[in-house]
Chains A and B, each alone.
Chain A
Amino acid sequence: MKFSIFKVALRNLKRNAFRTAVLVFSIGLLVSILVFGSSFILSVGSSLERASARLGADILVVPVGAREYAEEMLLETKVKTFYMDKGLMDRVGQVEGVTEITYQTYLETIWGVCCDVPPAKVVAFDQDTDFIVRPWLKEALGRELKKGEAILGHTAYTDLDLLEVDSSVLFGAKFDIVGVLEETGTGLDNAIFITDANIDKIIEKGKSRLKPNQISLMFVKVKEGLDPYPIGAKIESEVVEVDVIQRSEMGESIIATLKDINRIFLITIVLASVLSMFLTWTIFTAIVNERAREVGIMRAIGAKGSHIVGMFMIEVFLLGFMGSVFGIALGNYLSLTLSEVFTLLRDMAATLTLVERIEVSLLGLAVGVGICVVGALSSIIRIKRLEPLTVLKEV
Chain B
Amino acid sequence: MAQIELKDVSKVYTLGDTVINAVEDVSLGIEKGEFISIIGHSGSGKTSLLSIIGGILSPSSGRLLFGGTDIYALDETGLAAYRADSVGYIFQFASLLPVLTAKENLLLPTIFSSQRPSNSGKKAEEYLDMVGLKDKINAYPAQLSGGQQRRIAIARALMNDPEILLADEPTGDLDEETEADVMDFLKRINSEKGITFILVTHSSELARGATRRIRMTQGRIEEIGS
Residues of B within 8 A of A307 (CB): 111-112
A304-B77 in contact given A297-B97, A388-B83 (Cβ < 8 Å): yes
CB distance from B107 to the nearest CB of A (A): 4
Partner of A298 from the list B51, B85, B94, B108 (CB cut-off 8 Å) is B108
Q: Does B84 touch A at the CB level, under 8 Å? A: yes
A8-B108 in contact given A297-B91, A302-B85 (Cβ < 8 Å): yes
Residue of B nearest to A392 (CB): B91
A302 near B84 with CB under 8 A, answer: yes
The 8 A CB mask of B37-67 against A (1 = contact, 0 = none) is 0000000000000010010110000000000
Residues of B within 8 A of A161 (CB): none
In B129-156, the 8 Å CB interface with A consists of: 156
Residue of B nearest to A293 (CB): B95
B112 near A304 with CB under 8 A, answer: yes
CB distance from B115 to the nearest CB of A (A): 12
CB distance from A319 to the nearest CB of B (A): 16
State which size class the interface on A falls in. 20 to 34
The 8 A CB mask of B90-105 against A (1 = contact, 0 = none) is 0111110111100010
Q: Does A11 touch B at the CB level, under 8 Å? A: yes
Residues of B within 8 A of A318 (CB): none
Q: Does A3 touch B at the CB level, under 8 Å? A: yes
Partner of B54 from the list A4, A8, A300 (CB cut-off 8 Å) is A300
Residue of B nearest to A394 (CB): B93
A301 near B89 with CB under 8 A, answer: yes
A302-B107 in contact given A8-B99, A294-B97, A307-B112 (Cβ < 8 Å): no
Residues of A within 8 A of B81 (CB): 302
CB distance from A266 to the nearest CB of B (A): 40
Q: Does B80 touch A at the CB level, under 8 Å? A: yes
Q: Does A15 touch B at the CB level, under 8 Å? A: yes
CB distance from B17 to the nearest CB of A (A): 20
A300 near B99 with CB under 8 A, answer: no
The 8 A CB mask of A354-395 against B (1 = contact, 0 = none) is 000000000000000000000000000000000011001111
Question: Which residues of A line the B interface, CB within 8 A?
Answer: 3-5, 7-8, 11-12, 14-15, 294, 297-305, 307, 388-389, 392-395
Question: Which residues of B line the A interface, CB within 8 A?
Answer: 51, 54, 56-57, 76-77, 80-81, 83-85, 87, 89, 91-95, 97-100, 104, 107-113, 120-121, 156-157, 160
A-B contacts, 20 of them at CB < 8 A, read A3-B108, A3-B110, A3-B121, A5-B111, A8-B99, A11-B99, A297-B97, A299-B80, A300-B91, A301-B109, A301-B112, A302-B81, A302-B83, A302-B84, A302-B85, A304-B77, A305-B76, A388-B56, A388-B83, A392-B93
